[in-house]
Structure 1
Amino acid sequence: MVKIKANYVLAALWITLLCSCQKRSPEIPEIRQVDVLIVGGGASGTMAAIQAARMGSSVLVAEETPWLGGMLTAAGVSAIDGNYKLQSGLWEEFRKNLYNHYGGPEGVKTGWVSNVLFEPEVGDSILKYMAGLEDGIELMLNSTLGHIEKTQKGWIADIAYQTDTIRVETQVVIDGTELGDVAALVGIPYEIGMDSRHLSNEKIAPETANDIVQDLTYVAILKDYGKGTDMTITKPEGYDPSPFYCTCAGRCNQDSIGRKLWDCEHMMGYGRLPGDKYMINWPIFGNDFYLNVIEMAPHERKQAYEQAKWYTMCYVYYLQDALGFRHLGIADDVFPTADGLPFIPYHRESRRIDGIVRFDLNDLARPFAQTNALYRTGVAVGDYPVDHHHAAYPQSEALPDLHFYPVPSYALPLGTLIPKSVSNFIVAEKSISVTNLVNGTTRLQPVCLLIGQAAGALAALAVDEGVSPADVPVRKVQQALLDSKAYILPYLDVSPTSSSFSAIQKTGATGILRGEGKNIGWENQTLFYPDSLVSKSALQTGLQDIAAGLVITSKKETLTVNEALKVIYDLMKLRPGDTHFSSREAMDEKAKEIWKNHMDTLMDPEVSITRAMFSVLLGELIDPFSNWPVDHHGTYRSGIN
């Protein structure tokens, strides 16, 4: 364990040193030509870089802090919410690296808010280690974007890096910033705040739109310096303990305030990290703070953040002085900042661009009941409830109660990453094209990591094909993600290690067989039921859009292998010019070979067929996923990908 940790830290140091060399005169900008420029090395930006580089693109990441990971690391929110059982792509790879560092899954189960908690500095080192394994990635840490302009082939951007200005020529730009600043800079339309229910068609949205965003938090990382020590900070100027009186049980009646209160000792274990550290990101009369800085200039934001920092320091003082946690002090070995606080605050909300599609709560909660079948275009998955933090807003009682609104797990559509109005541009992190309500779940760390992976795949394919991201076929992006063991649909009961994983994901993405979404407390699910038998009625429903004229003639509700093969053959015949087999007999012979390879038994045409095996045969015999293209709205279109 110690050796792995040392390797991560050494790798991170080496990458930082490489980024700091080769100074040039500011009068002569150095020109870099790269395939993809990513502005913002946060959760999404880092994963976009790794995915694009693995697919052969050259990538430059410009990040304003010295760390990678954004909210995961530089903002100190190093407790992962959601997707614990959805072991998808680069999110799972990051988690396994954490396991390796801390000695296994139990090593990161140190607090009760999450099953994956880690020290922010370790997260940064791991992300730098992962990025450093890819030859195609160049990191420019402590850098800022200056000028950016559109060209015929892409973009030219000036990056202020140390004492130099680096001019970058690129085909594709990815906005991985915390607040969607690059999208705004290039003129992409966007929205801020809550949507009107009359425009979003979401029943729980407010009557009228407003510009109210979620509370932000300036996190603090405390360290246990040992019983008997006194690490109490100087009382902040203007300190008032009253906002924190109800932060834990014993001082307030939880029935009167409408919130569950925990014992103070138990509350402190909420964000306990490895290494005897504590993440202070407590929403119940804690250090959530209302600020809307999105439209502010950088210097105005910096000034505003001082208010949130002050509030967090007041809360830390309250924990130490009023609650007696004097042995817990600001960690001296995490953030190399003057006050020991993170580099940036934790933003829960950003601009939300006007994308090719807009993902709303109806799409998320009832994906098969909508006019647009956006689930067919999924590129990232999430399973966290819709969770909004508004308690710090001065008139919060007048806002809708959006605390853990129940939804099933979901697939985020590709079109949410692509602006309508600007070409060769991709938006990631929290600025994607979703409604304010949906942002309450897509903002979570694993989803942003997977959004980044999808953005990187889309960018790499756009570069390869010499087109704008909007013109990359949906199925090609999804296939690239499946090749990387990432989910495109959130089927909890089919692991990427399953031999039928890809086939089931693809069948689900066609809609020919559909999963079932459930809300079970905090654990939102979508299940495919791979071992259940194929139902005639379910299959007939799934064929409506792709083959409306195809009628299933089986006598029983569950299909036999023979009846399933008849459906597949009839479906194939509906595609003139795309016939895979000259006869049903020829197809059946191929099916026998597939069955033997997959099941290691001989195929019996008269036995009932499972949903998993139907998916395998469907994919290998006629592959409707690839051969029936869909657009960004999930609508089947003519032609072959």
Structure 2
Amino acid sequence: MKRRDFLRNAGLGLAGLAARPYVHGPWFQGRASRETDIVIFGGGAGGLCAGIQAARQGAEVVVLEPSPWVGGMLTAAGVSALDGNKYGAGGGLVHEFREALADHYGSIDALFTGWISLYCYEPHVGHGILKEMIAPLDTLTVLRGVEATGYERVGPRERRIRVTEADPAYGPPVCTDADQTITCSVFVDATEYGDGLKLAGIPYRLGRESQAQTGEEAAPETPDKEMQDLTYAATLVKQPGAEALPVSALDREHFDFFQCSTKLDCPNPDEKLLGHTVHSWERFITYAELPNNKVLLNWPHHANDFPSPVAMFEDRYYRRRHLAAAKQHTMQFVRYMQTELGHSEWQLATDEYPTADNLPPIPYIRESRRLVNDHVMKQSDVVPDGDNPRAPVIEDSIAVGDYFLDHHHSKHHLPPDCRLDEDFPDNEPFQVSPNVFFPENGDDSFLVGEKSIAVTHIVNGCTRLQPVVMLMGQAIGAIAAHAVSDGSAPADVPVPRVQESLLDAGCQLYIMYDVPTGHDLFRPVQNLALQGVLRADDPTRLHPDQPMPAEWAVKWATRAGMPDAVTTNETTDSLTQEDVSGRLAEALPMDYGSSSISRGAFVTALNSLTQ
């Protein structure tokens, strides 16, 4: 069944879709079963980007989002400060999203309001931008307030998905005779919790792996169930003269926990004892400052981080109770700020979220169920060898990231004798292989994204951030769309075809910060990286207008199969015309004479000869 018939039979005409790009609430009408190409369970940062990319490639896509908002941690969880993938590392849909934010606020510099991120914004603005990105795509349907509750293999590629209205309080859904089914050829788990993995019976892991399991020096000696904290973020607005919220006796019992979140209330500011730096109030309140006198409350030190026990993932009744407690914890910290710290001017913003309590619709989940396969990303995949400026380079890159191994655990701040100690090495710009998306249990129609990809607990610290999750989602969408058009399994789609689609969409597959999408050298740099000319020992900034070092020229020409094209032995000098011979000299845009050849000109010429 084509999507036009799908919508007509469901009572959702195309004209209605154009005016209302997604549907919320009871949609179970008409026929009890539907067909589409791709079903994506989860409309968060990764799932929505997967849907957008797949639809742009012509696939028919249905996204199932349990919450009332799309965007996940970008919007619905309120984490409206993009972490990592700065400058040219934010290509593809990340670039589109950032540019739309810049258009809204007047410039890209207008987003640099908080010191934690170059790109800060109000959640409702981000959500509006995502809706605008969805609206033109008439093969993409986003259904809110529903979730997948059944997964059945009905053929070599066909999967029948049971769809049920979601419990807004995060408890288990109640299946009824009114439930519908959607048959698809590709299913993507892009949920915040990895719920699709469990639904489909795909092997997964919760908690930390041991050194023996992964070979990671920073892993614990024995595996355990420690997971990164979740956070119920809050968006606050400055309202001078506002009164503090009422404080109960129960609230006050918890206020001691918040001591030393700032210097304003810290009886013993011994940083070795506390396990963290104690910041001033000004440093705290400007951490994630947003436009229009707002701040994102997502502070890691004795504030609104909250434990993520394994039971929260495996028991939906427990999840509901635990997330209610996490909300209460955040509100207690807000009351603590207003009373004990004396800053009642910071109030919950009432114009951000479609919720009665003015908190985000969903919590910020940093770590979830993680796929287990034979290609799990490990510490060695994101940490450079020796003095290299980037992690080991891979030929099948489909996404990039650059954030550090950032882990949130409240237990990091316990007294030293009972503290959870994690000492991670410094990582650098890294690439992601599509192998982290594919299960190896014989299910050829399943893909996994968001925080549930095949990574270790350690590596989750740098792959869980919004931009890299968006870029991985975009890659998943490209893979899924090619699988549909080819009639093949997603894992069988040739990687070069996926890479070409992603490059066409402006996605960097190799980080060069000063050569972003839209730059004249974007494709030449990416092409040379995919051909193995640019590698892990090469710089992360090209500085295209600067003179080309002869040392680089010799190295890159040799890797490109032209060892005799650069004739100089003075590798400490800049490259000149007389140092270049043969076809490479002919490919230069001009005769430089005794002047230095620029890096950009050399890259352009070398790329033209390697196509």
What residue number does 1:228 align with?
241
Structure 1 residues 553 and 488: alpha-carbon distance in aligned structure 2, compared to 1, 3 A threshold: closer
Check whether the contact 1:35–1:171 (CA below 8 A) recurs between aligned residues.
yes
Counterpart of 1:344 in structure 2 is 362
Partner of 1:49: 51
Instruction: Call closer, same or farther: CA 1:555–1:328 in 2, change over 3 Å.
Output: closer
Once the two structures are TM-superposed, the CA of residue 492 in structure 1 deviates from its matched residue by: 1.5
Judging changes above 3 Å, is the alpha-carbon distance between structure 1 residues 430 and 17 closer, same or farther for their aligned structure 2 residues? closer
Q: Specify the SS of the correspondent of 2:382.
A: helix
**In 2, are the aligned partners of 1:493 and 1:528 still within 8 Å (CA)?**
yes
The alignment yields a C-alpha RMSD, in angstroms, of 3.1
Q: TM-score, normalised by structure 2?
A: 0.85
Q: Distance in 2 between matches of 1:271 and 1:366?
A: 29
* Counterpart Cα distance in 2 of 1:45 and 1:17: 14
How far apart are residue 160 of structure 1 and its match? 1.9
Provide the residue aligned with 1:302 in structure 2: 320
1:561–1:182 CA distance, 2 compared to 1 (3 A): farther
> Matched residues in 1 for 2:341 and 2:21: separation?
40
Size of the aligned set, in residue pairs, is 567
- Equivalence map 1:418-429=2 (5 Å): 418-421=438-441, 422-429=443-450
- The answer as to whether partners of 1:514 and 1:542 remain within 8 angstroms in 2 is no
- Relative to structure 1, the CA distance from residue 385 to residue 18 in structure 2 (aligned partners, 3 Å threshold; closer, same or farther) is closer
Cα deviations across residues 579-622 of structure 1 (Å, max 9, x unaligned)? xxxxxxxxx4x984x64xxx3x3598x99866655554454444
Q: 2:17 matched to 1:15?
A: no
2:118 aligned with 1:115, yes or no? yes
> 1:67, CA displacement in angstroms?
0.5
CA spacing shift, 1:23–1:553, aligned 2, 3 Å: closer
For residue 308 of structure 2, what is the aligned residue in structure 1? 291
Equivalent position of 1:241 in the other structure: 255
The residue matched to 2:395 in structure 1 has which SS? helix
Q: What CA distance in whole angstroms lies between the structure 2 residues aligned with 1:141 and 1:152?
A: 29
Superposition TM-score, scaled by structure 1 size: 0.81
Q: CA deviation at 1:14?
A: 4.0
C-alpha deviation, 1:443, in angstroms: 0.7
**How much has 1:510 moved relative to structure 2?**
2.4
> Residue 253 of structure 1: which of 254, 269, 273 is its match?
269
Aligned residue in 2 for 1:132: 135
> Structure 1 residue 408 and structure 2 residue 412: aligned?
no
Matched AA of 1:212: E
Q: Deviations over 1:439-473 (max 9, x none)?
A: 10111111111111111111111112111111111
Partner of 1:390: 409
Question: Secondary structure, in 3 states, of the residue corresponding to 1:240?
Answer: helix
Aligned position for 2:77: 75
Give the drift of 1:91: 0.3
Name 2:352's counterpart in structure 1. 334
Aligned to 1:556: 568
Cα displacement string for residues 157-202 of structure 1 (whole angstroms, at most 9, x for unaligned residues): 1212589533211111111101211022212212222221223222
Counterpart check, 1:157 vs 2:174: no
* 1:193–1:211 contact (8 Å) kept in structure 2: yes
Alpha-carbon distance, 1:562 to partner: 9.4
Residue-by-residue CA offset, 1:540-585 (whole Å, 9 max, x unaligned): 8847xxx7xx96596534588899776xxxxxxxxxxxxxxxxxxx
Aligned to 1:143: 146
Q: Name the stretch that deviates more: 93-102 or 260-269.
A: 260-269
> Is residue 483 of structure 2 the alignment partner of residue 462 of structure 1?
yes
Q: 1:275 to 1:561 in 2, by over 3 A?
A: same
Q: Aligned partner of 1:15: which letter?
A: R
Q: Say if 1:321 and 1:103 are closer, same or farther in 2 by CA, change over 3 A.
A: same
* 2:478 pairs with 1:475: no
Contact 2:38–2:62 at 8 Å: present in 1 too? yes
* 1:291 Cα deviation after fit: 2.2
Structure 1 partner of 2:173? none
Q: What does residue 218 of structure 2 align with?
A: 204
Query: What per-residue deviation string (whole Å, max 9, x for no partner) do you get for residues 228-269 of structure 1?
Result: 220424436353211111011142324342422222233122
Residue aligned with 1:241, SS: helix
Partner of 1:217: 231
SS of aligned partner of 2:34: strand
Amino acid at match of 1:100: D
CA shift in 2, pair 1:220/1:360, >3 Å = same
Q: Which amino acid aligns with 1:245?
A: Q
Give percent identity, aligned residues only: 34
Residue aligned with 2:308, SS: coil
